[in-house]
Amino acid sequence: MEMTLRWFGSEFDTVTLQQIRQIPGVTGVITSLLNKPPGDVWTREEIQKLKTEVEASGLKISGIESVNIHDAIKVGSSDRDGYIDNYIETLENLGLEDIHLVCYNFMPVFDWTRTELARERADGSTVLAYNQEAVDALKPEEMFDSIAGDANGAILPGWEPERMAKIKDLFAMYKEVDEEKLFENLKYFLERIMPICNKYGIKMAIHPDDPAWSVFGLPRIIINKENILRMMKMVDDPHNGVTFCAGSYGTNLANDLPDMIRSLKGRVHFAHVRNLKFNSPGDFEESAHLSADGTFDMYEIMKALYETGFSGPIRPDHGRMIWGEVAMPGYGLYDRALGATYLNGLWEAIEKGAR
């Protein structure tokens, strides 16, 4: 595996490439052109510029998170082919720039959903948290306002104000889309992009829906073992793979995370490894990465990755806000650096123990 950190680009991130470079064992970043609206082509020049900047710091681009999918593709509307053509062009430009991993998601309207961005814990750190009763009490259009105030001024990826302003239209677009339709539209998209992925060796890594169930009545499909195996089978190409995000699949306690990793052998192209602490099945918070601080056995998760021969990029996911840092919620430097170091330690022990 290759230890990485997510980096949003110098214009948007409070964390610098130089800081990331000093985290022991981190050799690459997972990045994006954050200001590109879904559906636009990423030009070679733009990608080159990003790459030059990252490489000048001594790091590499280990993958893109995310090239977002336009809603027309998810809904399957009549104009989807033009957007897929643009996506293919972006993939080609990434391939030509020697970038071979693309993370994306197929979540309708909302990307990840949390009800608090700064829940205070006993040690004074703050974390992102989710409470089902709080969601049930909100209308979708209130969701954005209810969390935006806690974002430390950052624009949250997936929650861009321009998109949220059109939230009612977005909901209307998805009215006729149920789970079956979403699967069909995903299949259509993947079948169209697989030739370019094969040509350039680009691994597509779908990110699970977070939380892993339907919110506000919207269909969600990338939520459990059954559905993800169905997806792997429906487009049975090694370039059609997954981002195994422990914190997202883990929102549903019925998901056995190490077992899911084992069942996806060879198709896990990217891993997000983080922990959650459940206070009840409908209430969880994003704890420190350490097993002892949360509900998951992080050793077993890393061991399943190791034993299935996982060799792709891995990154700590959302961290707590600690030591007075002000940053995009979940994406400060300090706790993610601790997470990377912890995950590296687990990996070293597993690797040496296996000899």
Q: Which of the residues are catalytic? A: 207, 245, 272, 317-318, 331
In the complex, least distance from residue 318 CB atom to Mn ion, rounded to whole angstroms:
8
Cα(175)–Cα(196) distance, integer angstroms? 32
Q: Which amino acid is at 304?
A: A
Nearest Cα neighbor of 205 from 102, 113, 58 is: 102
Q: Is the peptide bond before 211 cis (omega within 30 degrees of 0)?
A: yes
- Binder of Mn ion out of 6, 225, 267, 272 (CB under 5 A): 272
71 binds, among Mn ion, ligand CS2, none (CB under 5 to 8 A by kind): none
- Decide whether 317 or 335 has the Cβ nearer to Mn ion: 317
CA-CA distances (angstroms) from residue 280 to 208, 272, 324? 22, 23, 29
In the complex, least distance from residue 221 CB atom to Mn ion, rounded to whole angstroms:
16
Token pair, residue 139, equals 């209308």
Alpha helices in the chain (DSSP H): 17-21, 44-56, 71-75, 80-96, 132-136, 140-148, 161-165, 167-173, 179-200, 225-234, 246-249, 257-263, 298-307, 334-353
103 binds, among Mn ion, ligand CS2, none (CB under 5 to 8 A by kind): ligand CS2
43 close to 36: Cβ distance less than 8 angstroms: no
Angle CA 246–102–351, to nearest 5: 50
111 binds, among ligand CS2, Mn ion, none (CB under 5 to 8 A by kind): ligand CS2
Options 172-180, 189-197, 294-302, 313-321: segment touching Mn ion (CB under 5 A) = 313-321
Number of residues that bind Mn ion (CB under 5 A): 3
- Binder of Mn ion out of 64, 202, 245, 333 (CB under 5 A): 245
Nearest Cα neighbor of 129 from 239, 228, 276, 27 is: 276
- Decide whether 14 or 350 has the Cβ nearer to ligand CS2: 14
104 binds, among ligand CS2, Mn ion, none (CB under 5 to 8 A by kind): ligand CS2
Cα(15)–Cα(334) distance, integer angstroms? 10
Cα(117)–Cα(126) distance, integer angstroms? 8
In the complex, least distance from residue 307 CB atom to Mn ion, rounded to whole angstroms:
22
65 binds, among Mn ion, ligand CS2, none (CB under 5 to 8 A by kind): ligand CS2
Options 75-83, 122-130, 183-191, 267-275: segment touching Mn ion (CB under 5 A) = 267-275
Cα(171)–Cα(142) distance, integer angstroms? 13
In the complex, least distance from residue 204 CB atom to Mn ion, rounded to whole angstroms:
15
Options 98-106, 218-226, 249-257, 310-318: segment touching Mn ion (CB under 5 A) = 310-318
Contact positions toward ligand CS2, by CB under 6 A?
65-66, 103-105, 111-112, 157-158, 207, 210, 245, 272, 317, 330
158 binds, among Mn ion, ligand CS2, none (CB under 5 to 8 A by kind): ligand CS2
Cα(20)–Cα(28) distance, integer angstroms? 9
- Decide whether 23 or 271 has the Cβ nearer to Mn ion: 271
Residues lying near Mn ion in the complex (CB under 5 A)? 245, 272, 317
